[in-house]
A and B are shown apart, each in its own frame.
Chain A
Amino acid sequence: MNISKLARLGVAGLLLSTTGLAAQDLDTMSVAELLPLAEAEGTVTVYSFTSRIGKVEAAFEEAYPNIDLQGFDISSTEQIARLTAEAQAGVTNADVVYVSDAAVVLSALLEPGIIGPYVPPRVADRVPAEFQSPLLAQRLSTKVLMYNEEANPDGAPVDSLWDLTREEWSGRVVMVDPLQRGDYLDLMTEIVLQSDSMAAAYEVEFGSAIELGDAANAGEKFIMDLFANDVILVGSTDDVNAAVGGLGQENPPIGFTSYSDRRDNEEEGWALQVANDVAPAPGIIFPAVLALSAEPNSPAAARLVIDFLMGDETETGGPGLAPFYVAGDYLTRSDIAPHPDAVALDDFTAWRVAPASTAEIRAEIGDLILTLQ
């Protein structure tokens, strides 16, 4: 090793440490300090797994007229594939990543350093620690059993998930193909992880202990029976919503979708309602996380977007949270009161997804579903 090589190493080290410092500086900056830097950057790109990014974009640009937010609606599964490819190419397109499917995000994006965490200092003391690490969760989202409340004014037409395997629901249970959307694969995985309660619910429903047959456990048995009962697979949650929720149906199907899609009932002509009382649980509840890309093109504006998405100091979080302050989304900000029309989080019986254990058997459940199709 000669002197010039040492010098180059030194310079490289120096550069690395300054960028490190700069990022740390940005992490601790207030909104007022970030704003001039963000305005100098001009634009910021957001990958979002929800179409509500359209509303966020309008609200953000109204709040910060000198910054152009470019929001893109990309499913979580696709974001993971895309961000991985972009990282391989050494290209950074997204500044902010707003994504669910935490089981895969943690191992595929956070661990290899494709994305990184950021918690706006302004709200850090008002978000419980469990939602700050490893990534900041903005809200909890759901994939749960929903029914048509117009056709069923007295409540859900089923009282157990096992009802869905009965003859009368043959060809009338709708969901998105779990092999196409990760959230639904997570749902199926959780049902298997909860095999004990599935077995108990079976006994309550049918009055006899479950006979597993070819299945390894009660969860797998349920999935096999559900598919044997001609479950309908569609391409997107909105297809489920339209099928289940559409007004004027005499005998509507039932299906797994996002509780928060109930917010669009009036606009879309749906009558979606959550079947919260089905045994053992209506589905899953999982975090929607916010992260920075590893080397954002607009580091200050990116942080500003995340700050904006965490809501302002008003009672319901202001314009940044408005698209998410709806029944069926559970915001992680502890100082914002839960939405009055929703089932309270404590009463909401959906299973809380544990990313680590989901990641463990997720591929196996995917294979099981593959054999059933």
Chain B
Amino acid sequence: MVDVPMRAHGRRVFFQQGTVLKLVVVLILLLLIVFPLIRTVVFTFQPDTIGAWGDVLQGRLSKNLFYKPLGNTLLIGAIVSTGCVLLGGFLAWLVVMTNVPFRRTIGVMATLPFMIPSFAAALAWGTLFRNDRVGGQIGWIQGLGFDVPDWLAWGIVPTLIVLTLHYFSLAFTIIAAALATVNSDLVEAAQIAGAKGRRILMGIILPVTTPALVAAGSLCFAGAVSNFATPALLGLPVRMQTLSTRLFGMIEVGQVGRGYVIGILLVIISGAFLWAGNRFISGRRSYATITGKGGHAKRFDLRAARWPLFCVAMVFLLASTVVPTIVLFASSFAPSSANLFSGWTTHYWIGTSNPSFAQGIPGILYNADITRALVVTLALGVCVAFLGMMIGLLVSYTTARYRDGWLSAAITQFSFLPLLVPGIAFGAAYIAYLGAPIGPFPALYGTFALLVIAGTAYLLPFSVQTGRAVIQQVSGELEESARITGAGFLRRLASITVPLAIRGLSAGGILIFVKIIRDLSLVVLLFTPTMPVMSVLAYRYASEGFAQFANAITVVILVISIVATLLASRLQAKSQPWLKD
């Protein structure tokens, strides 16, 4: 460090490069993420709620309140994240690195499952596999005369399957993006040196993509352990509890203190896992792989395995996209799930109010609640995606360029915190945080702003993660040269980082849009009747026994999500290098 010229410029002595930026980012994250959570922790230490800690951690209640759900939660997290990395990694490898047939189709289909709300996938599972354990309605398969065993109809096995088939596309997106940017120089050098496919995989591709694998694994882990709808729908009939269903149950019956304690413990436990993952990534040296030069390597020839591997991929893709979609679509017309494909009626879509049918609820086309919810949901998706992308870019840029120091570490940790907080707890925290007036600021409860702010904060990890994967790979040397020629921070951001990172940012934006419009757990507590969103309406209809309305709304959410994705991929057709030939 050259001290003298810096002294000449006064303030530079105190502000190391990037410190101001870091402070701004930290402040944003504090306001968005940390304060609501602190508010929750403070809540549990009030005199009348502090006893909840004892109830949860020791004593006669603790086994059922905490330790058993904890076991289930960890099991789900471990198996689902492993399964997702294997499945997502396999598909990403097929699409990006090999000459498997219909690569584009596989690539597009692998990103679809994430658009299907996990509660919809769980409902679809029930529609198909439900057995007569709870009597009454049976699923389609049992309706055909097959006997569905309990372990396949309810509990941990279906939960694991549904969640893996849901979250693997997250792993796919991350791993494919990383594979697509593997520097061809490295691969070609290896090929010239005579290395074979396996050697290239183990020696170059795996090490370079390890950060992506770890990131994918930890994101899937965090998603799986905080998922509420799937274990609630598939586990509750056999009394399988996870920490998130337990938390929901506690808040639902007004035992908010215990609920928050469970939520805090969930944050701490999964925090330990994510911290380990992060530590692993940050501890590595720079892995910039997009440089100013380089092209794409030759594809790996699968030879005779082309079609068999294609079939394997399609089994998973069909099971996770087409099947649930057909089931949802069919059951939005079918009067009962055992007879999914007969006696169809269009009432749930275009019927007018008829007092003798479904308590007089009109079909969703004539339903004012649903129309309003549609408008609110779309506006929410756009606002959250835009705001999320902006903050996500700022955060990922800051941590990528100024990686050292405790402020950067804090930024990384803060921005990932929401992942560890079940949506329902995050929603509850936001009600505690902005539900009452703060000084001169009015309470935001029931306002659109509250939904936008909470949604942005809640999904920040995803925008940051996507931005980060790309920005860290935009080689620092490009920006370095711009700085040498005198470009300021904003100029560098606008002319170099954003254009190069636009793929990651748009992908993040779409991811966020789709995630928020089909999110249930976060908005289920923030929802007020005057500010309705689609997913909550769907869930309400489902829990009141109007499965057809729920499924019809879910189909609408699905269509919007797919249209959004297709539109976006059209807009950025050039920036999906893993689909290029």
- Residues of chain A touching chain B, judged by Cβ–Cβ distance below 8 Å, are 45, 47, 51-52, 54-55, 57-58, 70, 72-74, 77-78, 80-82, 85-86, 88-91, 93-94, 104, 108, 171-172, 174, 177, 179-180, 182, 185, 232-236, 238-239, 241-246, 249, 252-253, 267, 269, 363, 366-367, 370-373
Do A370 and B237 have beta carbons less than 8 Å apart? no
Do A77 and B61 have beta carbons less than 8 Å apart? no
A77 to B253, CA, bound (A): 6
Interface bracket on B: 35 or more
Do B249 and A177 have beta carbons less than 8 Å apart? yes
Do B446 and A89 have beta carbons less than 8 Å apart? yes
A91 surroundings in chain B (CB, below 8 A): 443, 445-446, 528
Q: Which of A77, A233, A246, A371 contacts B252 (CB 8 A)?
A: A77
Shortest Cβ distance from A318 into chain B, in angstroms? 14
* Contact A235/B361 with A86-B446, A86-B528 known, Cβ cut-off 8 Å: no
A242 surroundings in chain B (CB, below 8 A): 135-137, 545
B357 surroundings in chain A (CB, below 8 A): 267
Shortest Cβ distance from A40 into chain B, in angstroms? 20
Instruction: List CB contacts (< 8 Å) of B223-240 with chain A.
Output: 232-233, 236-237, 239
A249 surroundings in chain B (CB, below 8 A): 132, 135-136
Do A93 and B529 have beta carbons less than 8 Å apart? yes
* Contact A233/B236 with A77-B253, A81-B251, A242-B137 known, Cβ cut-off 8 Å: yes
Q: Which of A171, A245, A370 contacts B136 (CB 8 A)?
A: A245
Is B296 positioned at the interface, with any CB of A under 8 Å from its CB? no
Do B436 and A89 have beta carbons less than 8 Å apart? yes
Do A51 and B544 have beta carbons less than 8 Å apart? yes
Is B359 positioned at the interface, with any CB of A under 8 Å from its CB? yes
In order of increasing CB-CB distance, the 9 nearest A-B pairs are A238-B545, A89-B445, A89-B443, A243-B135, A243-B136, A242-B136, A246-B136, A72-B529, A253-B135
B353 surroundings in chain A (CB, below 8 A): 54, 58
A86 to B135, CA, bound (A): 39
* Contact A85/B445 with A54-B361, A177-B236 known, Cβ cut-off 8 Å: yes
* Contact A47/B529 with A55-B359, A235-B232 known, Cβ cut-off 8 Å: yes
A86 surroundings in chain B (CB, below 8 A): 445-446, 528
Do B61 and A371 have beta carbons less than 8 Å apart? yes
Closest to A92 in B: B446
Do A171 and B133 have beta carbons less than 8 Å apart? yes
Do A85 and B135 have beta carbons less than 8 Å apart? no
B481 surroundings in chain A (CB, below 8 A): none
Do B437 and A90 have beta carbons less than 8 Å apart? yes
Shortest Cβ distance from A149 into chain B, in angstroms? 14
A51 to B549, CA, bound (A): 14
Do B237 and A233 have beta carbons less than 8 Å apart? yes
A236 to B63, CA, bound (A): 26
Q: Which of A55, A182, A253 contacts B134 (CB 8 A)?
A: A253
Do B233 and A90 have beta carbons less than 8 Å apart? no
A177 surroundings in chain B (CB, below 8 A): 236, 249
Q: Which of B249, B361, B435, B545 contacts A89 (CB 8 A)?
A: B435
A366 to B241, CA, bound (A): 16
Instruction: List CB contacts (< 8 Å) of B324-339 with chain A.
Output: 336
Do A58 and B360 have beta carbons less than 8 Å apart? yes
Q: Which of B64, B436, B442, B543 contacts A235 (CB 8 A)?
A: B543
A182 to B255, CA, bound (A): 12
A70 to B529, CA, bound (A): 9
Given contacts A93-B446, A235-B232, 17 further A-B contacts (CB under 8 A): A57-B360, A58-B360, A72-B529, A73-B544, A74-B529, A88-B443, A89-B443, A89-B446, A93-B529, A93-B530, A171-B133, A179-B249, A185-B253, A239-B545, A242-B545, A246-B137, A373-B241
Do A88 and B236 have beta carbons less than 8 Å apart? no
Do B443 and A90 have beta carbons less than 8 Å apart? yes
A-contact bits for B336-371, CB 8 A (1 contact / 0 none): 100000000000000001011101110000000000
A371 to B530, CA, bound (A): 38
A269 surroundings in chain B (CB, below 8 A): 336
* Contact A246/B135 with A267-B356, A370-B64 known, Cβ cut-off 8 Å: yes
A-B contact count (CB 8 A): 144
A180 to B443, CA, bound (A): 28
A253 to B431, CA, bound (A): 41
Do B544 and A238 have beta carbons less than 8 Å apart? yes
Shortest Cβ distance from B211 into chain A, in angstroms? 40
Sample (18) of A-B pairs whose CB atoms are under 8 Å apart: A58-B353, A74-B529, A77-B253, A81-B254, A88-B445, A90-B442, A91-B528, A171-B133, A232-B134, A233-B236, A236-B543, A236-B545, A267-B356, A366-B253, A366-B255, A367-B55, A371-B64, A373-B239
Shortest Cβ distance from B507 into chain A, in angstroms? 35
B437 surroundings in chain A (CB, below 8 A): 89-90
Q: Which of B232, B241, B252 has the most CB of A within 10 A?
A: B252
Do A172 and B135 have beta carbons less than 8 Å apart? yes
B237 surroundings in chain A (CB, below 8 A): 232-234
A-contact bits for B410-437, CB 8 A (1 contact / 0 none): 0000000000000000000001000111
B132 surroundings in chain A (CB, below 8 A): 249
A82 surroundings in chain B (CB, below 8 A): 528
B104 surroundings in chain A (CB, below 8 A): none
Shortest Cβ distance from B577 into chain A, in angstroms? 45
Shortest Cβ distance from A257 into chain B, in angstroms? 11
A245 surroundings in chain B (CB, below 8 A): 136
Closest to A242 in B: B136
A370 surroundings in chain B (CB, below 8 A): 61, 64-65
Do B134 and A174 have beta carbons less than 8 Å apart? yes
B442 surroundings in chain A (CB, below 8 A): 90
* Contact A234/B134 with A54-B361, A78-B252, A179-B253 known, Cβ cut-off 8 Å: yes
A179 to B255, CA, bound (A): 10
Do B530 and A88 have beta carbons less than 8 Å apart? no
Instruction: List CB contacts (< 8 Å) of B430-461 with chain A.
Output: 431, 435-437, 442-446
Is B284 positioned at the interface, with any CB of A under 8 Å from its CB? no
Closest to B240 in A: A373
Is B198 positioned at the interface, with any CB of A under 8 Å from its CB? no
A367 surroundings in chain B (CB, below 8 A): 55, 61
B232 surroundings in chain A (CB, below 8 A): 235
Closest to B135 in A: A243
Is B60 positioned at the interface, with any CB of A under 8 Å from its CB? yes
A261 to B431, CA, bound (A): 35
A174 to B135, CA, bound (A): 9
Q: Which of B233, B254, B445 contacts A77 (CB 8 A)?
A: B254
Is B492 positioned at the interface, with any CB of A under 8 Å from its CB? no
Closest to B356 in A: A267
